[in-house]
Amino acid sequence: MTSRSNGEPLVRLSGVNKWFGDLHVLQDIDLDIARGEVVVVIGPSGSGKSTLCRAINRLEPIEKGEITIDGDRLPDEGKQLARLRADVGMVFQSFNLFAHKTILENVTLGPIKVRKQSKADAEKRARELLDRVGVSAQADKYPAQLSGGQQQRVAIARALAMEPKVMLFDEPTSALDPEMINEVLDVMVGLAGDGMTMVVVTHEMGFARRAANRVVFMDGGRIVETAEPEAFFTNPQSDRAKDFLSKILTH
Ligand SMILES: Nc1ncnc2c1ncn2[C@@H]1O[C@H](COP(=O)(O)OP(=O)(O)OP(=O)(O)O)[C@@H](O)[C@H]1O
Ligand SMILES: [Mg+2]
C-alpha cells in the first residue's frame, strides 16, 4: 500500500471511547500521531494504556469515536481489517513467538501467509532484519533456546517483516531481566532514528528522553497531559502526573 504523504497524521484517534461493561476504560481520547513521530504512553496501572494500543490495531473494538491509519478508518471486520492490521506492528510484554517454529520461520510466516511473499524473498528479508536486531546467529534455533532479550528482538524483527506503517510496543522490556533491557531499547532507539512511527507504552524514562518526540500521560482512561519528554519529566503540569512521577522516580 502506498503512503499518502500529505500533512495528515498517520494515526488519528478522535473522540475514542471504550467500555468494559460499566468500566469506562477509554474516555474521549483525541490523539494525532505524525509520520515518523515517536509517542511514549505512560501512566499508572489500569489507566488504559494497553487498551489504547489494542484499540489502534483493533484487537479491541471501540464503542464510540474513530481511529484512522493513514487516512483509512479501521473497519469492523473482514479482509480490509486484516490488511489494515498488517500495517500496524505490535510487540507485547510477553514475546509470543511460536515455540515450535525456528526463529527464521517465526519471522517469515507472516510475510509468506499474509503478504504473499515467496519463501526465498521472505527469508532474505528476515535474515536482514535478524541482523539488524543483532540475532542473525540464532536464525535456526527455537525460541526457548534464546534469552528473553533475544526473543524480544526477534519479536521486533517479526513485526518489522510485515513492513508496518506504525509499530506499537506495549511494555516491551518489563518482563526482561535488567541486563537485557538495554539491548531491546537500543534496537527501538535505532528504529526511531530510522524514522519509524512508534507508540511505546513504557516507564523507561531513558528511552523516552532519547527517542520520544512526545510523552502522553494517561490516568483513569483519559489523556491527562501531553508534553515533550524533558518538560514532562522535569516539570509535569498536572497533580496526577506529579504524583505518578514521584512514585516511579523513587524506585
Ligand atoms: N478484557 C477486559 N475485560 C474487562 N476489563 C478489562 C479488560 N482488559 C482490561 N480491563 C480493565 O481496563 C482497565 C485498563 O486496562 P489496561 O490493561 O488498558 O491498563 P494499563 O494502563 O495497560 O495497565 P498496566 O500498566 O497494568 O498494564 C483496567 O481496569 C483493567 O482491569
Ligand atoms: Mg498494560
Provide the sign of the torsion angle of the four alpha carbons 73, 75, 78, 84, taken in this order: positive
pLDDT, tens digit (0-9, with 9 covering 90-100), for 216-245: 999 999 999 999 999 999 999 999 999 999
Please state the atom number of ligand 1 nearest to the C-alpha of residue 21: 4
The residue nearest atom 17 of ligand 1, judged by CA position, is 50
Cα(50) to centroid of ligand 1, in Å? 7
Residue 248 pLDDT grade (very low, low, confident, very high; cuts 50, 70, 90): confident
pLDDT, tens digit (0-9, with 9 covering 90-100), for 31-88: 999 999 999 999 999 999 999 999 998 889 999 999 999 998 877 777 777 777 889 9
pLDDT reading at 195 higher than 90: yes
221 lines ligand 1 (CB under 6 A): no
Cα(52) to centroid of ligand 1, in Å? 10
The pocket of ion ligand 2, defined by CB under 5 A, consists of 50
Please state the atom number of ligand 1 nearest to the C-alpha of residue 201: 22
CATH number for region 11-247: 3.40.50.300
Cα(115) to centroid of ligand 2, in Å? 29
Query: Rounded distance, CA 4 to CA 146, Å?
Result: 39
Q: What is the pTM of this model?
A: 0.94
20 lines ligand 1 (CB under 6 A): yes
Mean pLDDT of 137-147: 97
